[in-house]
Amino acid sequence: MTTLWMIAGLAAALAAGLALQRHRVGRLLFPSAPRQLRARRLRPVLAAPLALAVGTAAVALADALWPPGRDAPPAERLVRIGSAPVLRDAPPVRLSPAEVAALLDEADDGTIADIAARLDIGEAALRALMPLLDADEAPVGTRPDRLADRLAAYRSLQDSLPARQAADPATRRLQEEAAAALARGALAAADRLLAEAENHARAAAAAEPAAEAEAEAEADTRLAHLRSAAASRAARGGLARLRGEAQSAAGHYGEAAALLAGMAVLDRAAYRHEAGLAFLATGTFGRAETELLSALRLRETLLVDSHPDILASLEALARLYYAQDRYDAAQPFYERARAIVAATLGPDHPALAARLNNLALLHRAQGQPEEAEPLYRRAIALAEADPAPQRAALAVYLANLGALYEEQQRHTAAARTYRRALAVSEQAHGGADPLIAERLGDLARVLQAEGRFAEAAPLLERAAGILEAAAGPGHPDLGIVLANRAALEIARGRFAEAEPLARRALAILETAYGDAHIAVAMPLDSLGQIHRAAGDLEAAEDAYVRALAVTERALGAGHRAIAVRLNNLGEIRRARGLFAEAEPLYRRALAIAEAALPPRHPAIGAYLNNLALVRQARGRFDSAEGLYQRALSITEAALGPDHPEVAIRLNNLGQLYREQGRLAEAEPFYGRALAIAEAVLGPDHPLTAGIGRNLDGLRRQMAMRP
C-alpha cells in the first residue's frame, strides 16, 4: 500500500497545483475622467495568492461628444460647459520600470532633469511625487502607470488652481501662492495656503448680502466668493488624493460641495463625484454610492444624456457596484455608457472597446461565458482596428479572453490567447517590463494545467528574473512568482528543487505582509507537501493547519480556496491512518468545491479521488469505486485523456480492483496509466516509477495464480 499512498500524495500535489491557480475576475476597464478616459483594472479578490497583479493600461477616448460643427444643446440643458469641442488628449509619456526605479533610488540630478523634461514637469515637483509612489503597496509592475496617474492628478490640480479668478484679491493672491508652491513640489505649503484662501473667501462671502432672487445667483458676488472657497477646499482634496489620503480627500470634496448647497449645481456635482470616487478608493461603499448617485442626479438636471460628465458618473457607479459584486445593479450603468459611446462616436469607434470589455467581465462574473466571449472578441477587433492602437489595452482584452477560456477548461484556446497577449505586451512595454511577468504567469498556469510542466518552468523563471531585476530581491511580487515556481516543481515531483523556492517565497511574503496575510498560505501549502513527501507528517500538518487558518480568516469558511486547505489536511490525517478524521475533511472540501466551481472542474475530480482513497482504506469498496469512476470521468473531460491527473485516477482504480482480487480488471488501468505518465512526465518521474512498480507487482501476482 506504500506506493498507493505515494501516488495519492502526488495526486494532492497536482490537485493543489490546479485548484490554487488564480481564479481571476479579470481586468475591469473603467474610464475615470471625461477628457481622457483611462482603462484600469480593479484589483481582483484572490481565490489564492498566486496572482501577479497587473497595472493600469491607458485607453485614450476621443471625447468628440461635441465635435466641431455640431449644434450645441439647448442652453438650459448645458449651462456651464457650452459647445466647445473636447479633443483627444495626447497619450501620456510612460516611463520604463528601470527609469521609475532610478527615480525611486535617488537618481543623479542629470537623470532627474532629463526625465522631468520628458514628463513636462518641474524637477522639484517630480522629486516630491516620487516618495508618494514608493509608499504605495501596489505591485511593482504598475509603477509606471501609477506614476502617470499621479502626474495626471498633479496636472489636474495645477489646472484647477487658476481656473476661476477669485473675486477677493487676498484670496486670489493666496491661490496664486499655492499654485507656485505646488509647482515647486512644496505640497504642505500649498495645502496651508489653500486653507488660508478658503478662509478669506468664506469671510468675504459672509460680508456680502445674499442675492434676493434666484435668477441673480450667477451674478451674485457672494456666490463668487463661495465658489472660490469651494474651489480652494476641493484643491485640498486633490492634494490629499495626490498623497494617497483618500479618506481625507473625500472629506475635503464633501465640504466643498456643502459650501455650495442649493447653488452652482454643476460645481456641486463635480465635488460630490470626486468625494464618491475617494470613498470608493477607501472601500466605504455606502458613502460612495450616496455621493455618486447625487452627482449623477445633479448632472442630469442640466446636461444632455451624452455629455462626458454623465458618462463619467455612469461608469463610476458601474465600477462601484462591480466592486461589491452587485452585478445586477452594475449592468444598466454599463449598458447605458456603452449606448452613449456607440451613439455618439459610432459603433466601430475604438473607445467602445473598453465598454465592451467591462460588459464581458460582468457576464463572466455572473457565470454567463456565452455572453462574455463575443463581447471580448468585439473589443479585441476594435482595438486592433484603431489607427492609433493602444497596445497595452489590447493585451488586457486578450488576457481577459484567455482567462475566460481557462475558466471553461479550454486550455488550448487559453494558451493561444495568452501567447498573443504576451506578444502584444512585449510590443507595448518591452521584454523586461514587470507587466510581462503577469503575461508569463498566465501562460505558465495554463500550460501547467495541461501537464506541460517543462514548458511552464522557463516562463516562471523568466518572470522571476524580470521582477527581481525591476524591484529587487525582497519585493512581494517576486515572492508570489517564487511560490508559483515551488508549486510547479512539486507538481513535477521535484521536491528538493521546490523547497528553497517555497522557503524564500514565505520569507519574502511574511516580511512584506506579515505572517497572517493570505499571501503566505501558498508557500505554506507547498512546504506542507514537501514535508509530507519527506515523511515528516508532523511538520506537514503544522504547515497545513496554519495555511488553513490564514485562508479562512482572509476569505471565509466557504471559499473555494478553503477546499484545497481541507483536502491537504485530510491527506495528512489519512497518511497517519486517521481515516475517520480524514473523511469529514474530504467531504467538506468536496462540498465547497461543488458549490463554488463548475461541475466538470478538475479540482472536483481531485477531491472525489481523495475521498475514494479514504473510503477504500475503510473497506467501503463499492462507494470508493463509484467515486473513482466519477473522478476519472470529470478529469478526462476537463483535462483531456493524456493528462497526469488521468494517470492517477486510472492507477487508483487499478489499485482498488487489485485489492479486491479483480486482477484482470486492474491490468488495463495500470497499463494505460503507465503509458500516460511515461509520455508526459518521463520514465524518471516519481509518479511514473510508482505506477510501474504497481503494474510489475500485479503481473507477479497474476503469474503466481494457478
pLDDT at 592: 94
Residue 262's pLDDT is: 86
Q: Which three cell numbers stand for residue 455?
A: 514548458
Yes or no: say if 390 and 383 are a contact pair by the CB < 8 Å rule.
yes
* pLDDT tens by residue, 343-354: 888 899 888 998
pLDDT at residue number 83: 26
Q: Which residues are CB-contacts of 345 (< 8 A; sequence separation ≥ 6)? A: 62, 64, 351, 352
315: buried, middle or exposed (CB in 10 Å: 19+, 13-18, 0-12)?
buried
Q: Is 514 left (phi over 0), alpha (psi -120 to 50) or beta?
A: left
What nine digits make up the cell of 660?
479486491
Q: Is 699 helix (H, G, I), strand (E, B) or coil?
A: helix
* Residues in contact with 242: Cβ distance below 8 Å, sequence separation at least 6, in sequence order: 129, 132, 150, 153, 154, 157, 187
Where does residue 366 rank: exposed (0-12), middle (13-18), buried (19+ CB within 10 A)? Answer: middle
32-43: pLDDT as tens digits: 222 222 222 222
The pLDDT score that the predictor gives to residue 80 is: 25
In this predicted structure, what is the pLDDT of residue 400?
A: 94
pLDDT for 627: 96
Tell me the CA distances in angstroms from 82 to 86, 119, 274, 280, one per residue in order: 11, 31, 22, 30
Can you tell me whether residue 39 is helix, strand or coil?
strand
Based on its alpha-carbon atoms, the radius of gyration of the chain, rounded to whole angstroms, reads 30
Describe the crossing of helices 521-533 and 560-575 by its angle, rounded to 10 degrees.
20
CA distances from 33 to 66, 140, 149, 241, 631 (A): 16, 24, 11, 15, 50
CA dist 685 to 453, 481, 492, 646, Å? Answer: 12, 24, 7, 15
Residue 137 CB burial class (10 angstroms; 0-12, 13-18, ≥19): exposed
The helix or strand, by DSSP H or E, that contains position 197, with its residue range, turns out to be helix 187-206
Secondary structure (3-state) at 108: coil
Q: Which residues contact 94 (CB under 8 A, 6 or more apart)?
A: 58, 144, 145, 148
Confidence (pLDDT) at 671: 95
DSSP 3-state of 683: coil
What's the farthest any 2 CA atoms get from each other in the chain?
A: 114
CB 606 within 8 A of CB 19: yes
Identity of the amino acid at 649: R
Query: C-alpha grid cell for residue 561?
Result: 480556496
Residue type, 669: F
Separation in Å, CA 587 to CA 387, 584, 608, 636:
55, 5, 9, 22
pLDDT along the chain (706 residues), means of 10: 39 38 36 26 24 22 27 28 28 56 64 74 74 58 67 77 68 88 87 92 81 50 88 91 87 94 91 94 91 96 90 93 88 93 89 90 86 94 80 89 88 94 89 88 91 92 92 87 94 93 95 88 94 93 94 87 92 92 95 88 91 94 95 91 92 94 95 93 89 93 86
Ordered DSSP codes for 225-283 = HHHHHHHHHHHHHHHHHHTT-HHHHHHHHHHHHHHTTTS-HHHHHHHHHHHHHHHHHHT
Handedness of CA 169, 170, 175, 176 (dihedral sign): positive
